[in-house]
Amino acid sequence: MHHKDILLAAKISKPKGIRGNFVIKSFLENNDIFLLQLLDKFGNYFDLSKLHSLGKNHFLCKTSKITSRNDAELYKNQELFCKKSDLKDLEEDNFFVEDLLNLVILDSINKEKIGYIKNIFQQKADDIIEIVLFKNKNSKFYIFNKSNFPEITKDFMIIDNSIL
């Protein structure tokens, strides 16, 4: 399976109790994570059952793979993935972070390549995009919104020249 075909869906944060239960942070909306077949970092299926919600995107869970607190400690910080094809289609102007990483940035006037997306920082308010400029290899940070990035395709993203 190619890394572009999978997405980070959740991360096991810590054990909870003595029976092997653990807390996860889901990176998916709602309870979608419990409807998907999850994979561990080796591509093995990872069954996940929700015991109850602990707040926004945090859940107390169990799995048949973990039966004690000691086992749960071994899975601390373990990332869980899902197949992108198993997810619902995104609404217009929504993107998977993984699809935007390394995307080429074009300026809005000349459509020349000026850099690429190195990282995206998801904040509670606005997401921030880190762009590495080709001319000097410096990183610049921009708020990710429609006015700053008026056009996005699978091959490139256009940045408004007024913010450069």
Handedness of CA 139, 143, 146, 147 (dihedral sign): negative
Q: Do 156 and 110 have their domain in common? A: yes
Domain with residue 116: its CATH number is 2.30.30.240
Number of C-beta neighbours around residue 46 at 10 A: 21
Domain boundary among 86, 106, 132: 86
- pTM of this structure: 0.69
Is 91 contained in some domain?
Answer: no
Q: Do 69 and 108 have their domain in common? A: no
Q: Do 78 and 17 have their domain in common? A: yes
> Structural domain of residue 146, as residue ranges?
97-163
Q: Give the up-direction half-sphere exposure of residue 13: CA atoms within 13 A in the CB hemisphere.
A: 14
Phi, psi angles (nearest 5°) of residue 157:
-135, 135
Residue 31: what pLDDT?
A: 64
Report the amino acid identity of residue 17. G
| pLDDT tens digit at each of 164 positions of the chain | 556 688 889 999 999 999 999 999 998 876 678 989 999 999 999 999 999 999 888 999 999 999 999 999 999 999 999 998 888 777 777 788 888 999 999 999 999 999 999 999 977 788 999 999 999 999 999 999 999 999 999 899 999 999 98
Number of domains in the chain: 2
Number of C-beta neighbours around residue 64 at 10 A: 10
Which neighbouring-strand residues pair with 140? Answer: 131
Domain with residue 75: its CATH number is 2.40.30.60
Q: Do 128 and 108 have their domain in common? A: yes
Alpha helices in the chain (DSSP H): 69-74, 97-100
Q: Do 26 and 65 have their domain in common? A: yes
First to last CA, the chain: 38
Q: Do 107 and 82 have their domain in common? A: no
Please give the biggest Cα pair distance in the chain. Answer: 61
